[in-house]
Amino acid sequence: SQTIHQWPATLVQPVGSPLSLECTVEGTSNPNLYWYRQAAGRGLQLLFYSVGIGQISSEVPQNLSASRPQDRQFILSSKKLLLSDSGFYLCAWSDGLAGINEQFFGPGTRLTVL
Amino acid sequence: AQSVTQLGSHVSVSEGALVLLRCNYSSSVPPYLFWYVQYPNQGLQLLLKYTSAATLVKGINGFEAEFKKSETSFHLTKPSAHMSDAAEYFCAVSSGGGADGLTFGKGTHLIIQP
């Protein structure tokens, strides 16, 4: 069966510090991968998605970037965090061949920028 | 373009009462529709999905949803609410093509009164 991991689970960082969040998927090959942000009391905002190694599409211009160095690894980064980067970050995967975009979510990372 | 509207950011029901969470969608092609549940500080878990088979879809935890094309709706119901159903519920739509994933509604917070 497939599993998706995210770490760290929680993170408190000062403004201006760098960020690296990691997501890995097990039990599947060539998944589509997604990063979402969920601000307090708000819905999900798609940040990035990837259909393959090194292929990243950005949905929202911002302070963040994403990379996919391996087939089942997706990394969310920032060089300098802003207060507005606080939120709950969710990674998800889907089977690109299935064609219905059903997504499976990781447990999330709670990021607080102080 | 596709979109999802969830009526009511908060819904409160008594334990044992009917749960009805509303979702209306727009899509230029026959859609795939999903309901996800999110418990505090956790990722999203799939409750059920509509993929153009039966219009009445049964999911986990006693939930079901009915796809009504004429009303462009996919409302979520459960005959008898349990305290454990208290959570955030998200409706999502996919056109199936492209990897840019699901379009989510803003979510409905379900409150269960004892």
> What is the three-state SS of A18-59?
CEEEEEEEECCCCCEEEEEEECCCCCEEEEEEEEECCEEEEC
Query: Considering CB atoms only, which of B36, B43, B90 is closest to A106?
Result: B43
Q: For A52, what's the count of Cα atoms within 13 Å in the CB-facing half-sphere?
A: 1
- Is the confidence at residue B35, as pLDDT, over 90? yes
The span from the CA of A67 to the CA of A74, in Å, is: 6
* Tens of pLDDT, residue by residue, chain A (114 residues): 889 999 999 999 999 999 999 999 999 999 999 999 998 767 888 899 999 999 999 888 678 999 999 999 999 999 999 999 999 999 999 987 777 778 999 999 999 999
For residue B71, count CB atoms less than 10 angstroms from its CB and return exposed for 0-12, middle for 13-18, buried for 19 or more: exposed
Instruction: Quote the pLDDT of residue A77.
Output: 97
- Is the confidence at residue B110, as pLDDT, over 70? yes
- Is the confidence at residue B10, as pLDDT, over 90? yes
What residues of A are in contact with residue B44 (Cβ under 8 Å)?
44, 90, 92, 103, 105
Instruction: Quote the pLDDT of residue A1.
Output: 86
A77 and chain B in contact, CB less than 8 A? no
A67 and chain B in contact, CB less than 8 A? no
What are the tens digits of pLDDT across the range B50-102?
987 789 999 999 999 999 999 999 999 999 999 999 999 999 998 766 666 78
